[in-house]
Amino acid sequence: MYRKKVLTLILSATLAMTALSACGSAREGSAPAEAPAANEAAADTSADAKTDNAQDTSEAAPAGAGFEAGATIGISLPWLGTQNWKEAETMFTEQLTEAGYNPIVQAADQKVPQQQQQIESMIENGAKAIVVGPIDGTQLGSVLEQAKAAGVYVIGYDRLIENTEAVDGVVQFGSVRTGVMQGQALLDGLKEKKGEGPYNVELFGGGPADPNAPNFFKGAMSVLQPEIDAGNIVIVSGQTDFTQCATEDWDNSKAQKRMDSLLAGNYSDKEIDGVLSPNDGIGRAIITSCEDAGQQIPVVTGLDAENESVEWVWQGKQYCTVAKPTQDLVAKTVEIINSLQAGNGMPATDVSTNNGKIDVPIYELDPVVVTKDNAKEVFANDPDRMALLK
Ligand code: BGC
């Protein structure tokens, strides 16, 4: 039996298409003609796109010929603007070196041409595998096709690589699932901290070129929209489309400016109860804006378990974050590289997502919501974050 849910694909066809029309991304082209209706897909918010057996992608992946133990491995990161990417830079360098490889680890400062050039030079330097966290999920097709033509394995890291056949698999936390968790945590936090509704809420999304961002938003809205429809949550500004809520380049200062103007324009005679934030940096910007405006601190979500936000969650200033440990993502990626090196090809996985061109095997890890109540449990094996809980 072959059954495939197409959430991510639908996302490309609906939210992302409109979101990206303003910023010149090529993601529009990824929508296949037979995409089901948006409302059909919207009803299925339980998880990211999955297959329930391994027959399609993983069994089809041929075992490779392997490569030398000390091979060059390229790591191309989108930027170092959030803690997760800085952690990835350090951990990949350390772990690949320890495993005997020659790592080239580079970050591209949110500039697509810079990322393309960095990947080209990794190919020229003889990389046998290139791991990519794309700035724009749709903009790397031609350089990755060059990589494939040179026999290089291409692994997506944290973000989907869209609209190309030149990708062997993606290691990530379920992005729709992450959004569902953020939406549910916001709702739980409102009930816990703000008593009975209706609640005054505003919504923020991440950078529209990042394929994760519309997925996070979609997942969260699957929880929040019914509450909005029921009148239990009021989006006072009326801004509920991803395009209106997105934060270009995940830039915290842009989010803070938007929050300043939302408060100035809509909340002079009201308290704000909650804000959906797609990550911790934006969450802290929102909280700072509320403080500056003399507002009470609303229930604010986050993502990444960044040090400063872990402290704020512990102090009760930020309601929650979602942990998606970089060490787990990097460890899984290095495990895949070791399999490729040994000539065993891509490991089997029973999850896949359509990227507009092919079903991409996904190596999916589980994120976890962190509030003050469970922080000590979640970080029990993370001494650095445990040290922040004091
Ligand atoms: C990552 C987040 C990160 C964001 C901005 C997303 O793709 O999943 O962890 O906060 O990019 O860097």
Q: 304 CB under 6 A from ligand 1? A: yes
Residue-level pLDDT at 64: 64
The predicted model gives 174-200 an average pLDDT of: 97
Q: How far is the CA of 304 from the centre of ligand 1 (A)?
A: 8
pLDDT of residue 48: 55
Residue 323 has pLDDT above 60, yes or no: yes
Average pLDDT over residues 32-38: 33
**What are the domain boundaries of the chain?**
66-167+326-365, 175-324+370-386
Residues 6+ apart with CB under 8 A from 362: 48, 49, 169, 170, 171, 172, 349, 351, 352, 353
Please state the rounded mean pLDDT for residues 127-147.
97
14 CB within 6 A, ligand 1: no
**pLDDT computed for residue 17 by the predictor:** 37
Type of residue numbered 288: T
Residue 128 Cβ inside 6 Å of ligand 1? The answer reads: no
**In this predicted model, which residue has the larger pLDDT, 312 or 4?**
312
Asked if domains 66-167+326-365 and 175-324+370-386 share a fold, the reply is yes
Which residues are registered as beta bridge partners of 156? 132, 170
pLDDT on residue 127:
98
Q: Whose CA is nearest to atom 9 of ligand 1?
A: 304
Pocket of ligand 1 contains residue 303 by CB under 6 Å? yes
301-309 mean pLDDT: 98
Q: How far is CA 356 from CA 12, 32, 148, 163, in A?
A: 8, 7, 18, 5
The answer to whether the beta carbons of residues 74 and 44 sit under 8 Å apart is no
- Does any ligand 1 atom lie closer than 6 A to the CB of residue 182? no
Cα gap 246→269, rounded to integer Å? 26
* Answer CATH for 66-167+326-365 from 3.40.50.2300, 2.30.180.10, 3.40.50.2000, 3.40.50.300: 3.40.50.2300
- Ligand 1 atom closest to the CA of 159, numbered from 1: 7
Tell which atom from ligand 1 comes closest to the C-alpha of 211: 7
Tens digits of per-residue pLDDT, 324-351?
999 999 999 999 999 999 999 999 999 9
Identify the band that residue 65 occupies on the pLDDT scale cut at 50, 70 and 90.
confident
Question: Which one of 80, 85, 370 would you pick to mutate in the ligand 1 pocket, going by the greatest count of ligand atoms within 8 A of its CB?
Answer: 85
Q: Report the pLDDT value the prediction gives residue 21, as an integer from 0 to 100.
A: 36
Residue 34: its pLDDT value, please? 32
What rounded mean pLDDT belongs to the chain? 88
- Spatial distance between the Cα atoms of 154 and 144, rounded to a whole number of angstroms: 7
User: Measured between alpha carbons, how far is 10 from 215 in angstroms, rounded to an integer?
Assistant: 10
- C-alpha span between 304 and 326 (Å, rounded): 9
When mean pLDDT is compared across 44-58, 134-148, 244-258, 352-366, the lowest value belongs to 44-58
Instruction: Return all residues near 150 (Cβ < 8 A) that are at least 6 apart.
Output: 123
pLDDT-based confidence at residue 29 (cuts at 50, 70, 90): very low
Topology at the third CATH level for domain 175-324+370-386: Rossmann fold (3.40.50)
Distance (Å) from CA 299 to ligand 1 centroid: 21
**DSSP character at residue 101:** -
Three-state secondary-structure class, residue 339: helix
User: Which of 89, 157, 181, 250 should be mutated for ligand 1, with most atoms under 8 A from CB?
Assistant: 250
* Res 143: pLDDT: 98
Q: Is the CB of 250 under 6 A from ligand 1?
A: yes
Separation of alpha carbons 220 and 180, rounded Å: 4
Task: State the alpha helices, DSSP H only, in the chain.
Answer: 7-11, 17-21, 38-43, 83-98, 112-124, 141-149, 175-194, 212-229, 242-245, 252-266, 280-292, 307-315, 326-341, 375-378, 383-386
